[in-house]
Amino acid sequence: MTTLTERAASTALTVFFDDGNPSAGTPAICTEKLAHDFCLAALQAQDKLDIRLASEVELSVQLVPRDDMQALNLRYRQKDSPTNILSFESGLPVMSLPDDNSAGGMLALGDLVLCPDIIVDEAREQSKPEAEHWAHLLVHGTLHLCGYDHEDAQQAQTMESLEIQILSKAGIADPYGTRE
């Protein structure tokens, strides 16, 4: 019998990466590889979303300027301010792939929208290495796409503990500064 974690480890992840307009100052720190690696780590570590029927998982990562992020945050969360990341679950079921006899289907997980300006500012304010803050937010957003949330203390504890565990495997310190 294959466990959820084993199945996730064998699932291919495709990240559709849009870095916005790099000539307009988008930092090169968040690359397609960084996004892929940390989204995959989160997908493999999570146990909330059953992906046993999926041999392929897709998600998109888009970097947007501060004004666009503020507009999205207002439209979808009724908050008239920019934020570091927004996660949009697709809500779609695993889809069959043509000519796929037994490997499993494809799951369109959702979209992550990140604001480089906010992330860079937060990293400076929190005295964190910028790459580590990017990694944390990619993990955080992917866990949201898998069904994790932090609306109450118990949910927050579960989600934050998993984030800390995932990031520690990459040598990244607790982003919340609450544990050793």
**Domain CATH number, residue 68:** 3.40.390.30
Residue 162 lies in a domain: yes
Which pLDDT score, from 0 to 100, does residue 96 have? 84
CB 16 within 8 A of CB 108: no
The Cβ of residue 42 has, within 10 Å, a number of other Cβ atoms equal to 26
Residue 78 lies in a domain: yes
Stretches where the chain sits below pLDDT 70 are 1-10, 21-28, 99-103, 178-180
Of 20, 13, 34, 5, the closest CA to residue 113 belongs to 20
Tell me how far apart the alpha carbons of residues 43 and 13 are, in angstroms, rounded to a whole number. Answer: 9
pLDDT in tens, 73-102: 999 999 999 999 999 999 998 888 776 555
Tell me how far apart the alpha carbons of residues 61 and 64 are, in angstroms, rounded to a whole number. Answer: 10
Residue 112 lies in a domain: yes
Number of independent structural domains in the chain: 1
Residue 174 lies in a domain: no
Tell me how far apart the alpha carbons of residues 61 and 30 are, in angstroms, rounded to a whole number. Answer: 10
CA dihedral sign of residues 25, 81, 43, 111: negative
Residue 74 lies in a domain: yes
Residue 180 lies in a domain: no
Which pLDDT score, from 0 to 100, does residue 97 have? 72
Provide the residue range defining the domain that includes 76.
4-169
Tell me how far apart the alpha carbons of residues 148 and 93 are, in angstroms, rounded to a whole number. Answer: 17
Taking the whole predicted model, whether its pTM rises above 0.95 is answered as: no
Residue 26 lies in a domain: yes
Tell me how far apart the alpha carbons of residues 61 and 10 are, in angstroms, rounded to a whole number. Answer: 21
CB 40 within 8 A of CB 13: yes
Residue 177 lies in a domain: no
